[in-house]
Amino acid sequence: MTGRDAPAERILRLAAYAQWKRESVTLDDIARDVPGYTHGGDLVPGTPEWERVRKLVARDIRDLHDHWGIDLAYDEGDHRYALRAPFFTADERAALIAAATTVAVEGIDTPGAGALGSAVDDDATQVVLRVHGLAGTLRTAIGTRTPVRFLHDDRTRHVEPYALGTWRTHWYLAGRDVDEGALRRFRLDRIETAEPGASPIADDGPPGAYEIPTGFDAAAAFDLDPNVWGDDPVVRARARVDPDHVDAFRRELGGEVAERAPDAVTIELDVRHYQSFRNRLLAFGPHAVVLAPPVLVDVVRAHLAALAGGS
């Protein structure tokens, strides 16, 4: 892939690396061995590059948990990361073993296709990641640089595909919309079948018909969170969140737990898009309140005052 790897590919490499190592790993191990985090030389704690890699790994760990159901735990004591084995009930293990007899999982060495327990058994766990059914077809088109066409939101799109990735729980294709002459993103679950029985994706030109621009940034292409690309002055926000809403808050806005009390949790996060922060915060109603800095408190109060004045 030209340019930086898509976040989904980087994140899945991280999970695969942790599984392959079968032991805890350090930030230096990840930065040295995993594409997408690699750094020329040893990381020095406290430096900007060390902080960049640390934050990237922390964000990807949250995505692994929220989007893929994979827990890569961090031990604060020895500063190491390790996969946390999933827990399955007896019935769930039995169902997984039954599924392994009928489903071939690509990439898992087996003594024979469909052998009982070939992909999962009662003693060991293999992580199987679910991808959208169109991902394979589009990945081939990207690799061969083949233009494609498909029906998306009731419009026929002619696209030069650049990369596949995820945001939240959805898969997206990023590529050049030929008709609009601009980079666009398309949710795969919104691609429709034009004719019954036909493939939703059709070739729209020969292989090698285009090149992915050298300046294309796959990571940025799938960062759809306005707090990532917003251009307001960056501030460090503090919000008080009810304990039973902390997980949902962090899935929506990110952030790190700064203080924890029986009746409230304080979360800190960087904010660079004030309006988006305000809107998403208010969606939690009384369960989340911004405490600082004053600029964000004022943004929220002014909005609430305007709503009250107009009612």
DSSP labels for 46-84? TSHHHHHHHHHHHHHHHHIIIII--EEEEETTTTEEEEE
Q: What is the pTM of this model?
A: 0.44
User: What's the pLDDT at 99?
Assistant: 44
In the numeric block, the tokens 């003693």 are attached to: 123
Q: How many angstroms separate the Cα of 99 from the Cα of each of 110, 127, 226?
A: 15, 14, 40
Chain position carrying tokens 């430096």: 47
Give per-residue pLDDT as tens, 228-271. 667 789 999 999 999 999 988 888 888 899 999 989 999 999 99
* Mean pLDDT for the stretch of residues 170-175: 84
What pairs with residue 175 in β-bridges?
161, 184
Residue 224 is predicted with a pLDDT of 65
Residue 294 and residue 271 in contact, taking contact as beta carbons nearer than 8 Å: no
Mean pLDDT throughout 106-117?
37
What is the per-residue pLDDT for 121? 43
Q: Residue 159: name the closest of 172, 136, 170, 175 by CA.
A: 175
**Can you list the domains of the chain with their CATH numbers?**
7-84 (1.10.10), 135-219 (2.30.30), 226-310 (3.30.70)
Quickly count: other Cβ atoms within 10 Å of residue 39's Cβ: 15
Task: Evaluate if residue 220 carries a pLDDT over 50.
Answer: yes
